[in-house]
Amino acid sequence: MTITFLLNGETVQVDAPPTRTLLDWLREDRGLTGTKEGCNEGDCGACTVIVTDDDGPKTLNACILFLPQLHGKAVRTVEGISGPGGKLHPVQQAMIDHHGSQCGFCTPGFVVSMACAHMKKRSDFDDQLAGNLCRCTGYAPIIRAAKAAASEPVPDWMIDTPLENVQNAHLPENTDELAAWYADHPDATLIAGATDVGLWVTKQLRDLAPVAFLHRCNDLQRIDIAKDHTHIGAGCTMTQVLEWASDHFPSYAELIRRYGSTQVRNAATIGGNIANGSPIGDNPPALIALDAKLHLRHGDMQRVINIEDFFIDYGKQDSAPGEFVEAVSIPHQPNHLKCYKLSKRFDQDISAVCGCFNISIENNHVTAARIAFGGMAGIPKRASHVEQTLIGQTWSKETIKTAQTVFSKDFQPLSDMRASAVYRLQTAENMLMRYYLESIGEKTSVLEVQP
């Protein structure tokens, strides 16, 4: 597959196998060894690069980025952060001034993330750098450096423009092309953000051919607000969904803010997070609680199902060969949604338990309840018995305590490396109490409670 993109300002044309990663290509074929390999699974940020497309610059992890995903875009590695004659970028100078590096292994990734945040005038440095791990310097000097550089102008060599009108027969340009191709190649692997599929290649060394990349289907990447619902294309990244949710369902937005890292959210798509059928994906419980519908497509045929019906059993989804997720739609509704994510690390970790609650109260009585969990069964699943125990009852602590006793009818969770079955059940029950306490104005988050 031949692809064309800008690399540190120069146009390059590459003939490469579809699942060759940018990281391997940079280091092995181009000798650009500034971009480091740490984990090779999207977790450490040592391989961070800036990729600019029509939506502007964003950070991505080169270790789980396949070369065809770059077609027509502009890539800037750490070698392209300094200017002509080796002139340092303001974030590089600040890292020196503030002693932001010791062994230096993490430093290139940090510098690239900082340069991108600098360019986008972001000052939420903790979030912007949550996907970059440092094990010797510590974060305080690095954050000080990022703050110090913030007021400096963006150097002109950092401005990249994506290439125009580059075509490639193997990269569908819209959903119709994708649908026709996939119906003819039902055994193919679809690749959206590659935050799952990337690991099949780098960790499981799987051969995936044939593949189809979804990232050039712009019509899959739109969020449209209709009269009675919001339509989110399957190709929307978690960064896009986070921006939308901030205005409509802030608790869902907060859940997504803790999804992976900036780099992962810039790549991972909502369609991939649903289609992979994972029992611990963060979007499905929130979407089930919001009564979302899933739009599936096979060739010219489209069908719409309740999203919870998509998840049949562990590893089994309601999807035919050649059929793919086109969109998800969320009905407009008052915001009663609260999402609680429990994970071993606060940032950049997969949920052990993720509980999403959407409960309507009128005249102090429960009139409707949709509650869904990840991490409590082999699939993302509704707490139907708990919901039925709540509906029609007075909204009180006693009602919550009664409802807590029926969780075991809905869920018989597993013990695994993330949590024991007992812990999972108890924390799920506690989340319901948390929802109640927050509804009556008590602060429950350890990040909000003041001494």
What are the residues binding ligand FES (CB under 6 A)? 37-40, 42-47, 61, 63, 101-107, 134-137
Q: Which H or E run includes 317?
A: strand 316-317
Considering only residues 37-76, where is the footprint of ligand FAD by CB under 6 A?
41-43
Q: In terms of CB distance, is 37 or 177 closer to ligand FES?
A: 37
Considering only residues 332-361, where is the footprint of ligand FAD by CB under 6 A?
350
Residue 282 interacting entry, from ligand FES, ligand FAD, none, C-beta within 5 to 8 Å by type: ligand FAD
Considering only residues 270-309, where is the footprint of ligand FAD by CB under 6 A?
271-273, 275-276, 278, 281-282
- Measured distance CA(338)–CA(77) in Å, rounded: 39
Smallest distance from the beta carbon of 238 to ligand FAD, in angstroms?
A: 7
Residue 197 interacting entry, from ligand FAD, ligand FES, none, C-beta within 5 to 8 Å by type: ligand FAD
Residue 136 interacting entry, from ligand FES, ligand FAD, none, C-beta within 5 to 8 Å by type: ligand FES
Burial level of 126, CB count in 10 A (0-12/13-18/19+)?
A: exposed
Length of the chain: 451
End-to-end Cα separation, the chain, in angstroms: 59
Residue 105 interacting entry, from ligand FAD, ligand FES, none, C-beta within 5 to 8 Å by type: ligand FES
3-state helix, strand, coil in the chain (%, to 5): 35, 20, 45
Q: How far from 164 is each of 347, 390, 397, CA to CA, in Å? A: 37, 56, 60
Q: Is residue 90 within 8 Å of residue 118, measured between CB atoms?
A: yes
Considering only residues 188-247, where is the footprint of ligand FAD by CB under 6 A?
189-197, 214, 234
Instruction: Out of 259, 311, 435, 436, point to the residue binding ligand FAD (CB under 6 A).
Output: 259
- Measured distance CA(174)–CA(179) in Å, rounded: 9
Residue 51: what are its φ and ψ, rounded to 5°? -120, 125
DSSP summary character for residue 158: G
Q: Which stretch binds ligand FAD (CB under 6 A): 104-112, 262-270, 375-383, 413-421?
A: 262-270
The separation between CA 130 and the C-alpha centre of its own chain, rounded to angstroms, equals: 13
Smallest distance from the beta carbon of 437 to ligand FAD, in angstroms?
A: 25
Residue 325 interacting entry, from ligand FES, ligand FAD, none, C-beta within 5 to 8 Å by type: ligand FAD
Structure token digits, residue 303: 């069908």
- Token look-up 């092309």 returns 177
Q: In terms of CB distance, is 59 or 427 closer to ligand FES?
A: 59
Residue 273 interacting entry, from ligand FAD, ligand FES, none, C-beta within 5 to 8 Å by type: ligand FAD
Residue 177 interacting entry, from ligand FES, ligand FAD, none, C-beta within 5 to 8 Å by type: none
- Measured distance CA(220)–CA(332) in Å, rounded: 21
Could you tell me whether strands 229-233 and 223-225 are parallel, antiparallel, or unpaired per DSSP bridges? Answer: antiparallel
User: Who contacts 361 (Cβ-Cβ below 8 Å, separation ≥6)?
Assistant: 336, 367, 395, 439
DSSP summary character for residue 25: I
- Measured distance CA(293)–CA(208) in Å, rounded: 30
Q: Residue 116 is which amino acid?
A: C
Q: In terms of CB distance, is 277 or 413 closer to ligand FAD?
A: 277
Residue 103 interacting entry, from ligand FES, ligand FAD, none, C-beta within 5 to 8 Å by type: ligand FES
Smallest distance from the beta carbon of 209 to ligand FES, in angstroms?
A: 23
Could you tell me how many residues of this chain bind ligand FAD (CB under 6 A)?
Answer: 31
Helices (H) and strands (E) in the chain, counts: 17, 18
Q: In terms of CB distance, is 237 or 404 closer to ligand FAD?
A: 237
Residue 192 interacting entry, from ligand FAD, ligand FES, none, C-beta within 5 to 8 Å by type: ligand FAD
- Token look-up 């044309």 returns 13
Considering only residues 384-423, where is the footprint of ligand FAD by CB under 6 A?
none
Smallest distance from the beta carbon of 164 to ligand FES, in angstroms?
A: 29
- Residues near ligand FAD (CB under 6 A): 41-43, 189-197, 214, 234, 259-260, 264, 267-269, 271-273, 275-276, 278, 281-282, 324-325, 350
